[in-house]
Structure 1
Amino acid sequence: MTIEELIELYPAGKIQQTKATSEALSLPVNGKYFVLAKEALQETEIRLLETLFPAKEYFVNQKNHPWFGYLFDQMPIDVDGTFRIMQFQLKKPKAFLQSEWENSITEIFPNLDDFFFTTENDGVLIEKYAKNHYTLEELQSIFLTLDADFDSSTTVYVGNFFLASDGILTLFQEEQQIFKAEVDNLKVKSTFSLSDVALHYFTKEAMNQSKIVQTFAKQLVLTSELQKIILALWHNQGNISSAAKDLYMHRNTLHYRLEKFYEQTGLSLKRMDDLVFCYLLITK
């Protein structure tokens, strides 16, 4: 919705550069604020408008960052090519060298088309496709190194490469939903892509609605230790030796635990189908 459409709906509204007092509703649009008196609005209208125009926590200069205006304010942008968008969540120490961190990002990514923070701790990187683009594993190493250098902790969702002409804004909005839904479920990987979370993300609702799954989950006692075992096996593609190493457990001990679990439940975590099912049970 544009300012012009808002004015048509609410002719008493005003456009101004700064946010109004708490007695008025300030809607951020195109780098400005459309201000309405709350007393003239119903409570449901206020909630709807606040949802449509969420308050920005961080100022971004749209002249310097046209991708921000496009992705967050639906402003037009003149770009051509194939891009991927990386969303990041950065936990900073008290004495964080922000400028140095940002300089490191621009130096590391030669094909970066734009980069900015959207809040104090969240931001996006827009990278144009090139044959030498970083793999997911390389990106994981890059951000782990940055975290070690700056005493920070970064979680990154690496979007897919899409043609700008394929409606990249709508695709980014779905990637935003995926990042928000899955970021707290990650136990091992801090840099992930759709393939890492697709199974959980797209089956979660069906799992939650299934009476069979709910009943089975009540009968199946999964201790915190078993949950750690399932997650370790899942993240190591069922490899027992690698999972045992991550769990700081002897391989024979892990093998014994898996056998006991099979005797009690009939589910073999050595079989990928059973492992997938148990993984979905503990993450639904």
Structure 2
Amino acid sequence: MLKKIMSLYEDSVLFSEPPLHISNQFYIFNDQSEKEWLAIPKTKLTEKELNLLQVLYQQVNIPSKPLGKWYEFLMLNGPLPTTSTESNFRIIQFHIKGNEVVQDEIESALRGFFSDEVQYFWEDSHNGCVIEEKKQISLTESELGSISDTLESDFYVKVSFYIGKLYPYSNQLRNQFRQEKEYFQFAKNHLPGSNIVSFEKVFPPFVAANLPEHVKEKVYKDFSDVFLEDPELYGTIKVFLENNLNASMTAKKLYIHRNTLQYRIDKFIDKTGVQLKDFYGAFTVFLSCLLFQHDNLHK
């Protein structure tokens, strides 16, 4: 319901966790059944509307403090931050999964990995962002994976990152960031075990999950029986496709002999008649694997 209410008030913001701090120009309402918090600008509410919302939802008082220009721009529809250069920027989102999240310690650890010039902010107790200018970018996807492993071993929490694209310095950054937030949320819900996420990784399963039902059925029906009959075969084919049809890498990742891998691939081809070495065949099978994964994750 809060999502519908948000659509009625311009510049309102919906949170899936209680925000740590927020401008005192907002009223905050909590829907305990949905575990959501809605911030509505005070100037948008009449006294009658405020009274009604106070009856329907719990009004929450959250301490305010200077939030930073990037937080205000990206989260609260504030003005575009002033910078010394009109370069390109990317936003790396991070999510901390764990009950005991000591933000100061985790942020201090993150600052040890990134450039001193990058900007940080926390959205809530488990989610935050790192804003990098193009010239500040120094970490690769592999290095972010190593950082995730290090933080997990040091703080006993699981850390996942979404690596945003580079975008020009403009007001469009806010909408692009919100789209990337949607992709990251999808990954957290539907791609378990993926600690490093990017557009290229999340978009194929995102598309698969959002296909119309009649299209899903057409793609899925030729492979679902094979996957259900032999889940091990499904896992093998998916890893093989994810590793660019590289037999050595796939066998190593699955801890099996290359002959065993080849036997399973031949078995799949024999059952379906689809050649994986063909681009169109591989694409179709991979899409079916994503649909099978999504379907079985929510059973």
TM-score (norm 1): 0.75
Query: Could you say which residue in structure 2 is the equivalent of 1:73?
Result: 76
Query: Could you say which residue in structure 2 is the equivalent of 1:10?
Result: none
* Per-residue deviation, 1:59: 6.3
2:50 pairs with 36, 40, 59, which one?
36
Q: Deviations over 1:69-95 (max 9, x none)?
A: 11111011323432111111111354x
Query: Could you say which residue in structure 1 is the equivalent of 2:125?
Result: 120
* Per-residue deviation, 1:137: 2.0
Counterpart residue identity of residue 251, structure 1:
R
Q: Distance in 1 between matches of 2:53 and 2:193?
A: 49
1:165-176 aligned at under 5 Å gives the runs 165=170, 167-176=172-181
Query: Could you say which residue in structure 2 is the equivalent of 1:143?
Result: 148
2:187 pairs with 182, 202, 213, which one?
182
Count of aligned positions: 257
Are the equivalent residues in 2 in contact too, given 1:83–1:129 (CA < 8 A)?
yes
Query: Could you say which residue in structure 2 is the equivalent of 1:213?
Result: 219
Are the equivalent residues in 2 in contact too, given 1:143–1:154 (CA < 8 A)?
yes
Query: Could you say which residue in structure 1 is the equivalent of 2:262?
Result: 255
Are the equivalent residues in 2 in contact too, given 1:236–1:242 (CA < 8 A)?
yes
Counterpart residue identity of residue 202, structure 1:
V
Q: Deviations over 1:88-145 (max 9, x none)?
A: 1111354x54322211112221155321221221221111211652222222222222
* Per-residue deviation, 1:248: 1.5
Query: Could you say which residue in structure 1 is the equivalent of 2:165?
Result: 160
Q: Structure 1 pair 169/129, CA: closer, same or farther in 2 (3 Å)?
A: same
2:245 aligned counterpart, secondary structure: coil
Q: Which runs of 5+ in 2 are unaligned?
A: 1-9, 13-23, 32-36, 292-299
Are the equivalent residues in 2 in contact too, given 1:88–1:124 (CA < 8 A)?
yes
Are the equivalent residues in 1 in contact too, given 2:94–2:159 (CA < 8 A)?
yes
1:155 aligned counterpart, secondary structure: strand
Query: Could you say which residue in structure 1 is the equivalent of 2:103?
Result: 98
TM-score (norm 2): 0.72
Q: Structure 1 pair 21/178, CA: closer, same or farther in 2 (3 Å)?
A: closer
Establish whether residue 85 from structure 1 lines up as the match of residue 91 from structure 2: yes
Q: Deviations over 1:218-271 (max 9, x none)?
A: 554443212221231133111111111111211111111111111111123444
Counterpart residue identity of residue 37, structure 1:
N
1:272-283 aligned at under 5 Å gives the runs 272-283=279-290
* Per-residue deviation, 1:2: 5.2
1:236 pairs with 231, 243, 253, which one?
243
Q: Structure 1 pair 21/87, CA: closer, same or farther in 2 (3 Å)?
A: closer
* Per-residue deviation, 1:159: 0.3
* Per-residue deviation, 1:273: 3.4
* Per-residue deviation, 1:209: 3.5
Are the equivalent residues in 2 in contact too, given 1:65–1:114 (CA < 8 A)?
no
Are the equivalent residues in 1 in contact too, given 2:11–2:76 (CA < 8 A)?
no
Q: Which runs of 5+ in 1 are unaligned?
A: 4-14
Counterpart residue identity of residue 72, structure 2:
G
Q: Distance in 2 between matches of 1:59 and 1:183?
A: 28
Percent of aligned pairs with the same amino acid: 25
Are the equivalent residues in 1 in contact too, given 2:236–2:254 (CA < 8 A)?
yes
Q: Deviations over 1:143-165 (max 9, x none)?
A: 22222222221111100011121
Counterpart residue identity of residue 282, structure 1:
C
Q: Distance in 1 between matches of 2:274 and 2:63?
A: 52
Q: Deviations over 1:27-82 (max 9, x none)?
A: 524699957122899xxxx8xxx9xxxx9998674x24221111111011323432
Bigger mean CA deviation after superposition, 146-155 or 248-257 = 146-155
Q: Distance in 1 between matches of 2:288 and 2:174?
A: 33
Q: Distance in 2 between matches of 1:188 and 1:238?
A: 21
